[in-house]
Structure 1
Amino acid sequence: MRKMAIMLAVGLSMLSSVPAFAQTSADQKDECLLASKNCMNQVDDIKQRIYKLNREIKKGTRVYSPQELKKLQDKLKETSDVLRTLEKPDS
């Protein structure tokens, strides 16, 4: 009986980890970058955000719609502008 309970617990824990693994698939949208959803405990600096945006844009239309790609490109431009502003010496 105890052995069966342990096997059941292991089986349930394996099943619960499948959705988390599926969310990290290479062909999946990054909802945090796209619409600020599912951003649990994500804090990126500006350069990391630029890197992630470029990576998502490279996925192209196989993952994102043209409207979503436009939104990501706008966010990339905005983030790049912020970086340029921060890097400017005070004149």
Structure 2
Amino acid sequence: MRKMALLLAAGLSMLSSVPAFAQASADQKDECLLASRNCMNQVDDIKERIYKLNSEIKKGTRVYTPQELKKLKDKLKETSDVLRALENPDS
């Protein structure tokens, strides 16, 4: 009976920690890069933005959904194209 009560208590404590873990992984997302949210005081140059996008993409599916990763990759391609156009204006 005592073992059963301990197992039940351990199970309940594990279940109650799942939402906190989910929130921690959600906090790792860079909402400014992903959806232009929470970035009122943040200004990046193009190379810095490319670096941040690469860093976020490397986090992969443990932080982002496949749709969010696709959005980040599209933004990376767009930003890289802008940088290329600025570096080689006559090509």
TM-score (norm 2): 0.68
What residue ranges of structure 2 are gaps of 5+ in the alignment?
A: 1-23
**Deviations 1:12-68 (CA, angstroms, capped at 9, x unpaired):** xxxxxxxxxxx9x8x710000000000021000000000000000000000000000
Task: Please provide the CA RMSD for this pair.
Answer: 1.9
Query: Aligned-pair distance for 1:90?
Result: 3.3
Q: Output aligned runs, 1:1-91, within 5 Å.
A: 28-90=28-90
Which residue type is aligned with residue 47 of structure 1?
K
Query: How many residues are aligned here?
Result: 67
* Runs of 4+ with >4 A deviation: none
The structure with the greater share of residues assigned to helix is 2
- Alpha-carbon separation, structure 1, partners of 2:86 and 2:55: 23
- Scaled by the length of structure 1, the TM-score of the pair is 0.68
The separation in 2 between residues aligned to 1:53 and 1:31, in whole angstroms, is 11
- Any unmatched runs of 5+ in structure 1? 1-22
